Amino acid sequence: MTRQESSNISGHSSVFREDEAILIAFGANLPSRYGAPQETLAAALLRLEERGLRILARSRFWLTEPVPVSDQPWFVNGVCAVETALEPEALLALLHAVEAEFGRVRSLPNAPRVLDLDLLAHGRRIVPAQPGQGLCLPHPRLGERAFVLLPLRDVAPGWVHPCSGETLLSLIARLPADQKAVPA
């Protein structure tokens, strides 16, 4: 169990335990009323703080190719660690409400979007996938996506998958070589 010290977007230093972190991935590849994807993501993080989440650490922004590869614009992605008293279901509902507020329309899977907020992990909690329920923890595709794992390394490099016991570095080493991601 590693302790991570980082700065939140307001510049305050925070210390948190990586194995107990509540982790949220954020991304966008379409402009919104807030501007380009990076501006949208910055505004969304501020909105999460206004809604009561305390951002403990935030990755740098990453430019990532869509998965699966398509002709849509590349995404701007990142990960943050937050503190909240919300239970996972309530936190997921809050994330979906903020997405809707920013103009996200859920249509097809992997469609372009103005904002995507995913609950990756809620500490060491494991919530199995259930038919008709949107919550599954840790996020079921977390270990397959460079756009999640590389920003997660910025925030919690010692993170260990609560189900498999795999380290973050091990998960990154298994990523397909064709997933392109570069710091923004």
Q: Would you call 116 a catalytic residue per the annotation?
A: yes
- Candidates 47, 58, 116, 154; catalytic one: 116
Q: Would you call 113 a catalytic residue per the annotation?
A: yes
Q: What is the CA radius of gyration of the chain?
A: 15
For 78, the token pair is 């990142």
Closest C-alpha among 135, 140, 131, 134 to residue 164: 140
Query: What is the SS3 assignment for 19?
Result: helix
- Candidates 3, 47, 71, 113; catalytic one: 113
- Candidates 47, 58, 118, 145; catalytic one: 118
Distance CA 52, CA 83 (A): 9
- Candidates 104, 124, 153, 174; catalytic one: 104
Distance CA 8, CA 162 (A): 24
Question: Is 116:79 a contact under the CB 8 Å cutoff?
Answer: no
Distance CA 53, CA 58 (A): 13
Q: Would you call 118 a catalytic residue per the annotation?
A: yes
**What distance lies between CA 174 and its chain's CA centroid?**
19
Q: Would you call 154 a catalytic residue per the annotation?
A: no
C-alpha distances (whole Å) from 83 to each of 41, 49, 162, 169, 174 are 18, 10, 18, 24, 30
**Which residues are catalytic, by number?**
104, 113, 116, 118
